[in-house]
Amino acid sequence: MNKTELVKAIAEKANLKVADTELMVNEFIETISTELKNGDKVTLVGFGTFAVSHRKERMGVNPKTGEKLKIAAKDVPVFKPGKSLKERIQ
């Protein structure tokens, strides 16, 4: 399912206009992104937690040449599913 399909499915289930639903989904994504950028985490009880994880600098290997290279440290978004979500998909 892509974003467009998600918006349409939510609009149908909630009996809302697709344009209004798309605005809500976009704001949801923007709000979570902003909170993560600020170093906060977002917990949706029953669904999961969005957070930022720091990856340390490390050495890697270019698969084409076999050359060793340094991979820079970076922050990456992570999602940890909640217990309820895990149970729903089993």
How confident is the chain (90 residues) per 10-residue block, as mean pLDDT?
Answer: 97 97 97 96 96 96 94 96 94
**Predicted pLDDT of residue 34:** 97
What CATH superfamily is the domain 43-90?
A: IHF-like DNA-binding proteins (4.10.520.10)
**Predicted pLDDT of residue 27:** 98
**Predicted pLDDT of residue 6:** 97
Contacts of residue 58, defined as CB under 8 A and 6 or more positions apart, other chains included, come to 70, 71
Write down the residue that tokens 């923007």 correspond to.
30
Phi, psi dihedral angles at 54 (to 5 degrees): -95, 125
- What is the value of pTM for the model shown? 0.81
Phi, psi dihedral angles at 41 (to 5 degrees): -115, 155
Query: What digits encode the pLDDT tens for the residues 4-20?
Result: 999 999 999 999 999 99
CA geometry: angle 74, 61, 76, nearest 5 deg: 15
**Predicted pLDDT of residue 26:** 97
CB atoms within 10 A of CB 78: 12
**Predicted pLDDT of residue 24:** 97
